[in-house]
Chain A
Amino acid sequence: GNSVTQMEGPVTLSEEAFLTINCTYTATGYPSLFWYVQYPGEGLQLLLKATKADDKGSNKGFEATYRKETTSFHLEKGSVQVSDSAVYFCASSGGGADGLTFGKGTHLIIQP
């Protein structure tokens, strides 16, 4: 079956630092790939997605590029803010109704 692997953290950075959260996947076929963000005490919010190889998803200064050759979908942001502190989940779709396969989440802490 599908699987998603991401660094669990916590990842601690200073404000305005460059962020990379690695995500790799294994899947049959051509899944869609997602990044979700979860702020404390809340549900998950879709941050960005990409549906095919070489697609770049972007939102709120975050970007991730679907790399089929390396089966990766790393999340990047050029300059993080304290408000970006949250847990970030990478996920892949299997194309069926049983939904998404999630990584274990990466806890990001941004210090002022």
Chain B
Amino acid sequence: SQTIHQWPATLVQPVGSPLSLECTVEGTSNPNLYWYRQAAGRGLQLLFYSVGIGQISSEVPQNLSASRPQDRQFILSSKKLLLSDSGFYLCAWSAGGASTDTQYFGPGTRLTVL
């Protein structure tokens, strides 16, 4: 069966510091991968998605970036965090190829920028 991991689970960082969040998927090959942000009291905002190694699509302009160095690894980064980057970050995967339907989510990372 497929599983998705995210770490760290929680993170407190000062403004201006760098960020690296990691997401890995097990039990599937060539998945589509997604990063979402959920600000307090708000819905989900799609940040990035990837259909393959090195292929990243950005949905919104921001000071965040994403990379996919391996088939089942998706990394969210920032060089300098802003207060507005605080939120709950969710990684998700879906089957690649013709079936791009159901998304399955990881447990999330709670980021607080102070």
Contact = CB atoms under 8 A, between A and B. Distances in A.
Nearest to B94: A99
Give the dominant DSSP class at A's interface.
loop
Nearest to B104: A46
Contact of A93 (B44, B96, B100, B105): B100
Interface in B94-112: 94, 96, 100-108, 110
B57 interface: yes
Contacts of A41: 108, 110
Given A49-B102, A89-B43, A104-B43, A98 B90 contact: no
Interface residues of A, number: 23
Summarize B's interface: helix, strand, loop or mixed: strand
A89 B44 CA distance: 9
B96 to A, nearest CB: 8
A66 interface: no
A44 B49 CA distance: 17
A46 B4 CA distance: 14
Interface of B: 6, 32, 34, 42-44, 46, 49, 51, 57, 59, 90, 92, 94, 96, 100-108, 110
